[in-house]
Structure 1
């Protein structure tokens, strides 16, 4: 709306006018040309403090948040009241005691929906396998994945990937190539283990597990992602490990900030633009060379590489973007690969260090498979006891307390009668599902061969999703990187049990997990004792 028409409707006709001062800090426009005004046509904010501007913006945001919650009032709330402003009591409770609140809601509303408060949205939690199956069967015009959005990836990476998930086709290509890339991945992890855990059979070597495992995971993954020699460059590896840590910290920060502050805060917390340039310091020569070859030869480039970096370049070129976007996607895929895989292998390491007899059982299976197939993906596929152990580790120590994040695109009513309006964010409870006695008899018992002993017609595996196993989500929007992650995890654990003896730093004590907001993380300060395997 043009300024002049607004004034005429209010009887202010003239383009130049005077008003009196109405407060020490806020002035109605005085003797100014409307052509020079850059703020509201009626108010000129001349001396407002930053705190006052932020307070006003927060008030407006709270009001908008209140209006957006109206369509969810029919859904029971857990963690605290759902009234305006008072709902922040529930937010604090959920961030501090999320697992307990989800468990309480699951028990009280089993088979139905309830909601919990986040800063910028309500999470509608579906409890019970029937509702979870309903959710995963909904068509794409009714629900969409909300994982990257809820976990703040668009704000952290300054991208719109929640609308155009560019990483999905890339990771699907990787899944189809697992057998081809396994040799390189295993070669890199075996070299990295020897370099970073040079244990011998004569004495126990204390190892600060978190940084060492993160480094080995990064090297093994990037042998596949960007190849040699970059995957062994200490500067590149250090950058990727610490970038993943920075992103994880940024996500925790963003969960307590209102939406209008997130994009700027996310970019500043991770200095994403600087990280992209650092990544290009290592990758630009090869990216520029490949893009130039594509421009010259197009589809006729006979020697075009068939690796993950090239798949990324293909997607970027198809979108008429440049090397910076290639680096952004490389950083994003590394964030997903390093954090979750490192956490999973750390949980497995802490668990197996407490069970030397289990290490012997897994060692026998690994050695038998390798004797038949060598260190190949085919051998990994035969390690069913090892797979069962990893699945049980994830059942007990999944990375998030909720999963299967979905946005509702069209209004829908569930079989229990719950109405989900357009715009609602829906999740499933991870731990509550995994510790339900109806899903897992003796659910609190850690049974490493639980899946191996399953009487189901098809033995469930680490990568198998279902309504009662939701670590990786479930359905068509389940984690697309879980297949590569599973192979890397199994290869790392197999290498450990064959080449090392391990035990906890303090006998009989498993390092305690760290629960922060939506996440459940392995202890990052604990040490594990390694010794070169003693053969009787």
Structure 2
């Protein structure tokens, strides 16, 4: 039997290798960084990407600036475009050519993690873009109240003594509570098990997605059904949210639009816009967990970095405190007040410029062959992205780019006379943290207001510092193209002394 199988194997292996070589030929006109581009040997470049992905992309940016290059990533080849004209073409490309949605689908393996409906009917995204953003002023008192309560619970001060807090634990819990005050309201946003569920859900989805991404497509439906972590999280979510959904559906059926004390929150908007099978309890629970998935991790990681920079650079506390004190005296706590805190805004934007969440942004998947105006040919099935970290560290764009300058963007706003051009929510081909164009992060307005309110609260309430040498940040690390702050680092808090 073995002898009869061997000739077939000897024929199949070279055939597969030949197929891979022919597939690679479609991209041979694009320079490769990280290692060889030949099949099997390209695995060396993939290993380098996993270990030091940001260095690999930075190397390509320096070498091929103004053009394109490619590297081997988890899901195959990714082509990086570096020039402003090409970035603009990527931004304007039709969704049936270079697709943001299908790229996200591949990264998160959505049909097998969050479900096909989330991919094909993402009705929550227009809600985030419209209702959530439009209601930020109305929602701000609740946001502010939850921030104050959550900080008080997570940072138990003892007189005027310093209290040591692991930033990861405190900030993730505060962000979860604050976000869910706007998503589902009181008292559920303060339920410890519900918050733990939402934090765990992100891990479950990402872990399952990565495992599935390593498999051939034919095995994904089978393995996807065997890996039940996400489904069990949804079951747990149903236990928490079903009574709330049922109560609201009953109210709507009884009173319609004349419901006087109807909540203004994400869950209510989801219920009102849901159609057909999306109007079931389980579907609505999955949808609210998905919104949390998008909100909690990114905002938590972003603010952990902000807190680390604040604690490492105490010389910048007083200028921001003076700004916050002055604005609040004039405006009180409100969204309008946050809009006038330019130094607070600039501090956050500069930290995000230096840290971000990864080495690339604006990722698209080519659904059909695509040719850029400079002649660069992108075959169908190829990922295309922008090197956000390399651009944010480009000396031609940001003088002294490696230095932390907290007033970099507030100074730009003063010089340009622009109210919002260089604010933390604005995007451009030179600042791509949130993407750029019609697919820029729809929740960035909520996220930035949340982070600004949190930073303003810390400035008003606490003194903070690190245990180590002043100016020395806890070391962040890259995993592939993703930047992860030091998750074990501790920050010292005490009651504000001046």
* TM-score normalised according to structure 2 size: 0.90
**Structure 1 residue 255: Cα displacement:** 5.5
Change (3 A) 1:252 1:304: same
Cα separation, 2, equivalents of 1:269 and 1:76: 38
**Does the 8 Å contact 1:243/1:270 carry over to 2?**
no
**Does the 8 Å contact 1:252/1:517 carry over to 2?**
no
Which segment is superposed worse, 238-247 or 105-114? 238-247
SS at match of 2:408: coil
Change (3 A) 1:437 1:240: same
Other-structure match for 2:473: 510
Cα RMSD, aligned residues only: 2.8
Other-structure match for 2:293: 335
**Does the 8 Å contact 1:75/1:114 carry over to 2?**
yes
SS at match of 1:161: helix
The yes-or-no answer on 1:143 pairing with 2:98 is yes
**Does the 8 Å contact 1:126/1:426 carry over to 2?**
yes
Other-structure match for 2:29: 74
Which segment is superposed worse, 243-252 or 504-513? 243-252
SS at match of 1:72: coil
Within a 5 Å distance, the mapping from 1:172-183 to structure 2 comes to 172=129, 173-183=131-141
CA-to-aligned-CA distance 1:264-292 (integer Å, 9 cap, x gap): 66676671111111001011012123334
**Does the 8 Å contact 1:61/1:258 carry over to 2?**
no
SS at match of 1:174: helix
Other-structure match for 2:81: 126
**Structure 1 residue 496: Cα displacement:** 0.4
**Does the 8 Å contact 1:404/1:474 carry over to 2?**
yes
**Structure 1 residue 348: Cα displacement:** 0.6
Equivalent residue pairs, number: 486
* TM-score normalised according to structure 1 size: 0.84
Other-structure match for 1:103: 58
2:125 to 168, 176, 179: 168
Other-structure match for 1:481: 443
Q: Whose helix proportion is higher, 1 or 2?
A: 2
CA-to-aligned-CA distance 1:412-434 (integer Å, 9 cap, x gap): 32232201233322110111110
2:308 to 344, 347, 350: 350
CA-to-aligned-CA distance 1:433-460 (integer Å, 9 cap, x gap): 1011111111111110000111335240
Cα separation, 1, equivalents of 2:488 and 2:232: 28
Q: Name which structure has the greater RCO, CA cutoff 8 Å, separation 6+.
A: 2
The yes-or-no answer on 1:93 pairing with 2:48 is yes
Cα separation, 1, equivalents of 2:335 and 2:154: 24
CA-to-aligned-CA distance 1:264-321 (integer Å, 9 cap, x gap): 6667667111111100101101212333455566667676544210222234335555
Cα separation, 2, equivalents of 1:273 and 1:416: 46
CA-to-aligned-CA distance 1:148-183 (integer Å, 9 cap, x gap): 224315043233534443331121121111111111
**Does the 8 Å contact 1:158/1:267 carry over to 2?**
no
Other-structure match for 2:282: 324
The yes-or-no answer on 1:528 pairing with 2:491 is yes
Larger radius of gyration: 1
Cα separation, 2, equivalents of 1:302 and 1:128: 53
**Does the 8 Å contact 1:201/1:533 carry over to 2?**
no
Cα separation, 2, equivalents of 1:283 and 1:423: 39
The yes-or-no answer on 1:432 pairing with 2:390 is yes
Cα separation, 2, equivalents of 1:266 and 1:186: 40
Cα separation, 2, equivalents of 1:153 and 1:242: 18
**Structure 1 residue 504: Cα displacement:** 0.5
SS at match of 2:492: strand
CA-to-aligned-CA distance 1:55-75 (integer Å, 9 cap, x gap): xx9999988766654432322
Which segment is superposed worse, 111-120 or 66-75? 66-75
The yes-or-no answer on 1:196 pairing with 2:154 is yes
Cα separation, 2, equivalents of 1:248 and 1:58: 32
For structure 1, the residue ranges without an aligned partner over 5 or more in a row are: 1-21, 27-51
Other-structure match for 1:159: 116
**Structure 1 residue 512: Cα displacement:** 0.6
